[in-house]
Each structure stands twice: as structure tokens, then as C-alpha cells.
Structure 1
Amino acid sequence: MQCFVRSAEAGSFSEAARRLGMTSAAVGKNVARLEAGLGVRLFQRSTRSLTLTEAGESFLHEVRDSLVSIQAAVDNLASAGGQPAGVLKVSMGTGFGRTYMVPLLAPFLAKYPAISPDWHFDNRQVDLIAQGFDAALGGGFELPPGVVARQLAPAHRVLLAAPDYFKGKKMPTSPTDLDALDGIFIRSPQTGRVRTWPLRNRANQQVPVTLRVRMTMSDPEAACEIAQMGLGIALVSMPNALPFMLNKSLIRVLPDWYVDGGSLSLYFAAQKLLPAKTRVFVDYVVEHFREHDLARRFSAF
């Protein structure tokens, strides 16, 4: 059943096999056994494509949610000595994960030793359900069907520069002064484009970011490191900006202005019976954010 659902989501046996850690032949044989047992063809196969039949579409609609619940029940039943157990597959941004999540690993595993972390550090949004992730951390993601978000903190972005960048230059006092300065922009890993963000202030006035595009980067931590060299002004999220601001290698430009990127959230499957390993991870992260006041620290105000 799992081979069928993952093959339908992926559109190929080979991609489903990669996600399941199986061979393509094994996935194909499992789907063939399911079809034989049901007495119907679920897929139309060709050398180039794998598409669902009408019966396959109907069957997928009926079984997908049930499969998730069954997997959660199996995971919970298999927990070691009544403790949460199993592989915990989580996606998170590279810089954010290394700075804020990796330090949680030792105390988390001390409390839940039967959980085996499988953490993926990537700035791209993942398909939580289709790619088999238990959870993902990020901001500004579209919420797909079957996924819920637990808000952790605001996803604010701020303008940063090295103090030396303004030697021989006028420090901007309003957004209209930015058009004479160099910008270090972040390229979206999803679209490959530089997103046009509006700046806003406490009065909710909005103005465009008019920095000259001096360079673009795909990683916010790299943008901050380049800004340290005095090469321009970076627009990055507060979690990425905070370490550089604390060590005073970067300062905020126009501190009364920021970009509102929505919320930094923890994403996981929307199901009544959440696997114990996922439930305790969600609770642990939420409690950590509360104890360390990260929602306030990540705010641009």
C-alpha cells in the first residue's frame, strides 16, 4: 500500500523507491501484487510515464489518509519500552538549523534516546508528505493540503551592513536614501528569483526596497558574511542576522524599518494520531522557543 501511494505521489517507481529506500523493482512488484489482490489496474504504465487509472485515482483518495494513520499507529506501537522511538526526518534551513537546532540535539536525545534523527539542512521548501518528512521548520511556506503549521516566531527581515561600509558614505535616514547604496540580495531557492519585498515601519507605512542589486546569494548566512566585508547591505531574516548583530560585526540599517515575511513555523502532518516521535519533537521545540524567548528575539522591533 505504501509503495502504491508513494508511486502515485512521485509519478514513478524509481522516485518512490528512492524515497522509501527500496529498489525500483521491489516497488513495482509490490504494486503489482496489490493490483493482483484487488483485481484492478491502478496505473497505466509506459516507458516514459506512470499515471493513475480512474480506479487508481479513486483508490488513492480512499486510502491515503488511512495509510498515514496506520503508519502513525505502527510507529507508536513500535516505540521502545513505551518511549517515543524511530527515525525522525526533519527539514530545516542550513544556517538556522546549525545555529538554533543542532544545540538542541544532545538534550533532546538524552530525554528520548530511542529516537534516531535524520535531519536535512536545506533552504528549499520540501514536500512534507510526499517526501516522507515528519516535520519541517521554515518561514513563508505555502501550506499544502494535509499539513498544519505551529507558529513559533515572526519571520522578520532586516537590513544589515558592516560599520565600515559607510566610511565616505552618508548613513541612510529614510528608505529613499537606499537607492544610492549596494544591495546583497537573497535568491529564492524555489523560484531562482530575487523577491521584491516592501519595507514597513510600526505605523505600517510601506515603501519598496530600492537598493542597487550589487550581487545575489542563495544562502542568507553567506550574505551576512559578505556584508561583513563591507561590500553592501544585506536583507536577511532575524534568526540569521542575530549572531552578527550580537558580535557587532554588522549593524542594522534603518532600524525603524523591516520586512514582514509572515511567521517562522514548525510544519507537520495534520492527523489525529501523530507519531509519538513527532509529537515530542514539536512539543520540545515549542517549549525551547518559549524558554529562550526566541519569538521576541526574532522580532525586528
Structure 2
Amino acid sequence: MMDRLTSMAVFVRAAEAGSFAAAAPALGMSAPMIGKHVRFLEARVGAQLLHRTTRRQSLTEVGRAFLERCKLVLAEAEAAELLAQDLQATPRGLLRVNAPVTFGSYSLTPMLTRYLRRYPEVSVDLTLTDRVVDVIDEGYDAVIRIGPLSDSTLIARALKPYRLVAAAAPAYLAERGTPQAPVDLAAHECLGFSYWARASLDVWDFTGVDGVTHRIKVRSRLTVNTGPALRAAAVEGFGITLQAEEMLREDLATGRLVQVLPDYVGPSRAMRILFPASRRPTPKLRSFVDVVVQAFGP
């Protein structure tokens, strides 16, 4: 029995060549064998695909429509085979990645070292910045982005929300008092992170056990664009900082900082990994995205 995909490929080449004889050399088969493939397809669809005479051939109306569909089917079949080959390919080459400073320093980098041990033929150029980079123009393979998604031309995979906690030094709390409820923050020195300016710099959200969210307008005399700098100001006792728990974990464990409003859930920001839309992502990119989603996925 003839293979349908092979017969479709023969039919497309014969239709484009204009005759069975013209298509025969490229296909590596005789004109009569090409005719058998075409008749096989005509029997399957129940309609004539080609008008054939001793001198020329032409597509029927059904043949023209069938030809376009055959091209699509053959293209998809080729893409499926290439994808299967890629899945077995070894990730290799340089991967350029961008991530926010705090997440990149305290969460992504430890994961990257494990990724690089797993794939020894991959190297990573990681850039940490809280600036929103242009993935295409600046040549990144993938970026981690926290906050609203504005570029719809990229493929986005959701990660778990980026959760924040409020903390202050014991000396600050001894001098200014410890907030008991979110509303108390309005009377405190709250350290501002300028990276959140797009999402509302001077409003902090806290959710109680009852599910009610309290939106508090805070006052920030000191605003900085990196989390580590705000952490340093908090450790010095200047005010209350709102930062990722991952970054503050050691300070909280040693007592350099104390969590403020521990009975409330602090704000969170949407976090995603973004990469350029591509029909066939490279093995290095696909493996990296899969590892990130596995480590930080929702």
C-alpha cells in the first residue's frame, strides 16, 4: 500500500513541474510510478486532480485546492520531524539572559549553577538590571520580568508571584514603635523602591487572614532603584523596607531585621519568563525555559 505523505509529495512536485516526465528526475522515479501515486490520491479523495493528455497536464479545480492543502500538510510533517530531532539534540552554545537584580542575585543565580552543571556545553551571559530591556534589539534569548506585561510580541510563561515582606531593624522599631496593622505604616518611614514606580510607588498592599486587602499610602523620603541598597538602609535602622523574602531571609534569621506585620500577607508582583516567538526554539533555550518553569513555576 502506498504511503499517503509520499504520494502527496509526489503530487506536489508533479503539479509544480508541469508533467510526470519533468518531475521524474527530481523524484528519482519513473513517470509511470508518479502516475500511480497520483491515481492513488485520486482514489482516496474520489475526484480527479489532474487533467492529463499526451502533451500536457493541468490541475482540476479540486486539484488546485488539494495542492495547497498538501503543501501545508507536508510543511507540518517536516516541522514535526525537525522538532523530534531537536528534542533529542544536546543543548549547547551561549545563552544571553536578563533578570531583575534582586531575583537574579538571590534566586536565579543558584539555579543557573545547577543548570550549567547539567548541561556542560551551554554557557550563560547573565545581565542583572531593574531596567526593562528590549529583548529583540538587545539580543537576549530570555528575560525574567516582574510586573505588568507590556510586550505582546514575546512568548510568556507564568512563574509563581514575586512575594514581598516588610522588615525593619530592631533599633528603628524600638525608636518608632512596631506597626500592629497596615494603617500604622502611614506614620512610619517607608523605604521606596523606584522599580515599582509603574505599579504605584507609594502604595503598599497587605492582606489579612480575613481575605481583606488593605492599600496603604506610605511616605518615602529615601527612594532607591536596587533592593540591596534598600536592605542596607533598613539594616542601618533608617526605615521599613518592602523586599523579597529570599533576599531578607538571612537578616531575619540573625535578627538584623524583624518582619513587620507578620500576620498579614505582603504584596506580590506577577513574574514571567519571556522569550522571542519562534517556531523552533533552540535546544539550549527550550532546556533553560523548562528548568526555570520547573524551579519557579506557579
Mapping of 1:40-51 within 5 angstroms? none
Task: Tell me how far apart the structure 1 counterparts of residues 165 and 196 of structure 2 sit (CA, whole Å).
Answer: 19
Superposition deviation, residue 115 in structure 1: 1.6
After superposing on structure 2, the runs of 4+ consecutive aligned residues of structure 1 that deviate more than 4 Å are 189-193
Which residue of structure 2 lines up, in the alignment, with residue 130 of structure 1?
137
Superposition deviation, residue 202 in structure 1: 3.8
Which residue of structure 2 lines up, in the alignment, with residue 86 of structure 1?
93
1:152 pairs, out of 154, 159, 165, with 159
Q: Deviations over 1:18-64 (max 9, x none)?
A: xxxxxxxxxxxxxxxxxxxxxxxxxxxxxxxxxxxxxxxxxxxxxxx
2:211 pairs, out of 192, 204, 213, with 204
Aligned to 2:267, what secondary structure does the other structure show? strand
Q: Deviations over 1:78-115 (max 9, x none)?
A: x9x94212220100122321222222344322322222
Change (3 A) 1:153 1:254: same
Which residue of structure 2 lines up, in the alignment, with residue 58 of structure 1?
none
Superposition deviation, residue 152 in structure 1: 2.4
Percent of residue pairs bearing the same amino acid type: 28
Change (3 A) 1:105 1:178: closer
Superposition deviation, residue 155 in structure 1: 1.8
Which residue of structure 1 lines up, in the alignment, with residue 292 of structure 2?
285
Superposition deviation, residue 170 in structure 1: 2.7
Change (3 A) 1:103 1:264: same
Aligned to 1:183, what secondary structure does the other structure show? coil
Aligned length: 216
Q: Do residues 219 (structure 1) and 219 (structure 2) align?
A: no
RMSD: 3.0
Which residue of structure 1 lines up, in the alignment, with residue 103 of structure 2?
96
Q: Structure 2 unaligned runs (5+)?
A: 1-78
Superposition deviation, residue 193 in structure 1: 7.9
2:259 pairs, out of 252, 260, 265, with 252
Q: Deviations over 1:171-201 (max 9, x none)?
A: 2111222222111111127769835343333
Task: Kindly indicate which of the two structures has a greater share of residues assigned to helix.
Answer: 2
**Contact (CA 8 Å) 1:139, 1:261: kept in 2 or not?**
no
Mapping of 1:159-170 within 5 angstroms? 159-170=166-177
Which residue of structure 1 lines up, in the alignment, with residue 74 of structure 2?
none
Task: Tell me how far apart the structure 1 counterparts of residues 236 and 204 of structure 2 sit (CA, whole Å).
Answer: 24
**Contact (CA 8 Å) 2:202, 2:218: kept in 1 or not?**
no
Change (3 A) 1:240 1:125: farther
Superposition deviation, residue 256 in structure 1: 2.6
Instruction: Give the alignment's TM-score, normalised by structure 1.
Output: 0.62
2:178 pairs, out of 171, 177, 186, with 171
Instruction: Give the alignment's TM-score, normalised by structure 2.
Output: 0.63
Change (3 A) 1:141 1:85: farther
Q: Structure 1 unaligned runs (5+)?
A: 1-69, 296-301
Q: Do residues 180 (structure 1) and 208 (structure 2) align?
A: no
1:262 pairs, out of 261, 269, 275, with 269
1:229 pairs, out of 224, 236, 243, with 236
Q: Deviations over 1:267-290 (max 9, x none)?
A: 222333111111111122233347
Superposition deviation, residue 158 in structure 1: 2.1
